[in-house]
A and B are shown apart, each in its own frame.
Chain A
Amino acid sequence: MKVHFDSIGMRFGGVRVLDDINLSVNAGEFVCILGPSGCGKSTLLNIVGGFVTPTEGRVTIDGEPVTGPDPRRIFVFQERGVFPWLTVEENIGFGLFRQKDDEKRARIARYVQLVGLQGFERSYPRELSGGMKQRLEVARALAVDPDVLYLDEPFGALDSITRLQMRRELLRIWQAERKTILFVTHDIEESVQLADRVVVLSARPGRVRRVVDVNLAHPRDLSDPRYIALRDEIFGEIGLAHQI
Chain B
Amino acid sequence: MLGLVLLAFWALAVVVSGTKIFPSPMDVVRGLLELARRKLLWAYMGDSLFRVACGYLAAVAIGIPVGLAMGWWSSLARAANPVIQMLRPISPLAWMPLAVIWFGVSNLAPIFLIFLASVFPIIVATMNGVRNVPPMYVQAGRNFGLSTRALITRVLFPAILPRILVGLRIAFGVAWLVLVAAEMIAVDSGLGYLIIDARNAGKRYDLVVGGMLLIGLLGLILDTLIRRAETLRAVRWAFHE
Within 8 A of A (CB), among B221-241: 234-238, 240-241
Output the least CB separation between A45 and chain B (Å): 12
Output the least CB separation between A153 and chain B (Å): 13
CB < 8 Å: which of A69, A70, A71 contacts B139? A69
B134 nearest in chain A by CB position: A80
With A124-B237, A126-B241 already in contact, the answer to whether A85 and B158 are too (CB < 8 A) is yes
Is A94 interfacial (CB 8 A cutoff)?
Answer: yes
Bound together, the chains give a CA A197 to CA B168 distance in angstroms of 53
Chain A residues lying within 8 Å of B140, measured Cβ to Cβ, are 75, 77, 81, 83
Q: Once A and B bind, how many residue pairs between them come within 8 Å at the CB atom? A: 58
Beta-carbon contact of B155 and A144 below 8 Å: no
Bound together, the chains give a CA A56 to CA B143 distance in angstroms of 23
A86 nearest in chain B by CB position: B158
Bound together, the chains give a CA A70 to CA B137 distance in angstroms of 15
Output the least CB separation between B144 and chain A (Å): 4
Interface residues on B, range: 20 to 34
Chain B residues lying within 8 Å of A51, measured Cβ to Cβ, are 139, 142
B155 nearest in chain A by CB position: A83
Is A125 interfacial (CB 8 A cutoff)?
Answer: yes
User: How many residues does chain A have at the interface if contact means C-beta atoms less than 8 Å apart?
Assistant: 24
Q: Is the interface of B mostly helix, strand, loop or mixed?
A: helix
Beta-carbon contact of B142 and A68 below 8 Å: yes
Is A34 interfacial (CB 8 A cutoff)?
Answer: no
Within 8 A of A (CB), among B103-154: 134, 136-137, 139-140, 142-146, 150, 154
Chain B residues lying within 8 Å of A69, measured Cβ to Cβ, are 139, 142-143, 145
A95 nearest in chain B by CB position: B144
CB < 8 Å: which of B139, B142, B143, B161 contacts A85? B161
With A80-B134, A83-B158, A85-B161 already in contact, the answer to whether A75 and B241 are too (CB < 8 A) is no
Bound together, the chains give a CA A97 to CA B154 distance in angstroms of 11
Chain A residues lying within 8 Å of B236, measured Cβ to Cβ, are 124
Is A49 interfacial (CB 8 A cutoff)?
Answer: yes
Beta-carbon contact of A85 and B235 below 8 Å: yes
Beta-carbon contact of A85 and B144 below 8 Å: no
Output the least CB separation between B169 and chain A (Å): 19
Beta-carbon contact of B137 and A81 below 8 Å: yes
Is A84 interfacial (CB 8 A cutoff)?
Answer: yes
With A77-B140, A95-B145 already in contact, the answer to whether A85 and B237 are too (CB < 8 A) is yes
Chain B residues lying within 8 Å of A68, measured Cβ to Cβ, are 142
Is A195 interfacial (CB 8 A cutoff)?
Answer: no
Beta-carbon contact of B136 and A71 below 8 Å: no
Within 8 A of B (CB), among A56-82: 68-71, 73-75, 77, 80-81
Beta-carbon contact of A75 and B237 below 8 Å: no
Chain A residues lying within 8 Å of B191, measured Cβ to Cβ, are none
Output the least CB separation between A125 and chain B (Å): 7
Chain A residues lying within 8 Å of B146, measured Cβ to Cβ, are 97
Bound together, the chains give a CA A116 to CA B134 distance in angstroms of 27
Bound together, the chains give a CA A49 to CA B136 distance in angstroms of 12
Beta-carbon contact of A84 and B238 below 8 Å: yes
Bound together, the chains give a CA A124 to CA B236 distance in angstroms of 10
Bound together, the chains give a CA A129 to CA B161 distance in angstroms of 24
Select the residue from B143, B234, B240 with max chain A CB neighbours within 10 A: B143
Beta-carbon contact of B159 and A85 below 8 Å: yes
CB < 8 Å: which of A77, A85, A126, A144 contacts B136? A77
Beta-carbon contact of A126 and B237 below 8 Å: yes
With A97-B150, A126-B241 already in contact, the answer to whether A83 and B144 are too (CB < 8 A) is no
Chain B residues lying within 8 Å of A80, measured Cβ to Cβ, are 134, 136
Top 10 A-B pairs ranked by shortest CB distance? A95-B144, A71-B145, A69-B143, A85-B158, A84-B237, A69-B142, A77-B136, A81-B136, A81-B140, A71-B144
Given contacts A69-B139, A71-B145, A97-B146, 9 further A-B contacts (CB under 8 A): A49-B139, A74-B143, A75-B143, A77-B136, A83-B159, A85-B158, A85-B161, A94-B154, A126-B241
